[in-house]
Amino acid sequence: KAGVTQTPRYLIKTRGQQVTLSCSPISGHRSVSWYQQTPGQGLQFLFEYFSETQRNKGNFPGRFSGRQFSNSRSEMNVSTLELGDSALYLCASSTTGRHDYGYTFGSGTRLTVV
């Protein structure tokens, strides 16, 4: 059974650019969540998608956006990159995202903004 696949694994971008990260959930999972991990703030929730709809959103600026496709694959986009956006971005998939199903995480995308 394939796990959660995130691409690319590493990215280096320049301030002001935009970036798109991709996440393919476990087959049959319809909920995809995104998290940002930094040394200073730890793991913080960005947003969650279920059946192509954003159900929940964390406290991040509008530069962070996402979407989900009909096959449950998800992308997140960060526009006008800032140095502080350098982080490990993790995607998690769940059957429904509702209670008691747990989450499976991908290996993450390491974004470095220079």
Should residue 22 be labelled a site residue for other proteins when binding is judged by CB under 8 A? Answer: no
83 touches other proteins (CB under 8 A): no
Tell me: does residue 39 bind other proteins (CB under 8 A): no
Asked if residue 12 binds other proteins (CB under 8 A), the reply is no
Q: Applying CB under 8 A, which of residues 29, 72, 93, 106 lies at the interface with other proteins? A: 106
Min separation Cβ 74 and other proteins, Å = 14
60 binds other proteins (CB under 8 A): no
Q: HEC states along the chain?
A: CCCCEEECCEEEECCCCCEEEEEECCCCCCEEEEEEEECCCEEEEEEEEECCEEEEECCCCCCEEEEECCCCCEEEEECCCCHHHCEEEEEEEECCCCCCCCCEECCCEEEEEC
| 67 belongs to the binding site for other proteins (CB under 8 A) | no
